[in-house]
Amino acid sequence: MQSTLLRHAVATLAYRGAKVIRDVPPGFSDFSAGPGSRTAGQILAHVGDLLDWGLSLAQGQQRWNDSPPQAWADDVARFHGALATLDAYLASGAPMACTAEKLFQGPIADALTHVGQIALLRRLAGSPVKPENYFKAEIEAGRVGPTQAPPKREF
């Protein structure tokens, strides 16, 4: 049960993340809300770090890296690759070295927060993402790549 819910949370992160990181305007990686705040590229790199950290927690080898941003496309690929790796571990039935609750409340929930920050930066940069009724979204465990189901109800 816990693995099922965690995998759904990871797929939800993939769905919401894919929506906000695709089709960004040129130069968006360097966009920030103001002096002293992270750029969109720094936030996306941090999300990759969170996902790597989540896998290391699940495997019992807690590791943290502060990765600098790469080219946007490279960090997008890293995002989806890290989601796929984490999802594969969760699906494997391998033992979890931490509780599902801790994995969710730490790296997964933090990554969801940062996806929201990227969405806000998109709006501030003049390239808003359409709002959506996420309850109706077609999200399924294992679908963690850039190709996601089309929105069911945008407004």
Q: What is the pLDDT of residues 65-109, one digit of tens each?
A: 999 999 999 999 999 999 999 999 999 999 999 999 999 999 999
Give the rounded distance of the alpha carbon of 151 from its chain centre: 18
pLDDT for residue 1 is more than 90: no
**Which of the four pLDDT bands, split at 50, 70 and 90, describes residue 154?**
confident
Q: What is the pLDDT of residue 3?
A: 84
Stated pTM of the model: 0.95
Give the CA distances from residue 23 to residues 28, 29, 72, 139, in Å, rounded to whole numbers and listed in that order. Answer: 10, 12, 11, 20
Cα separation, 72 vs 70, in Å, equals 6
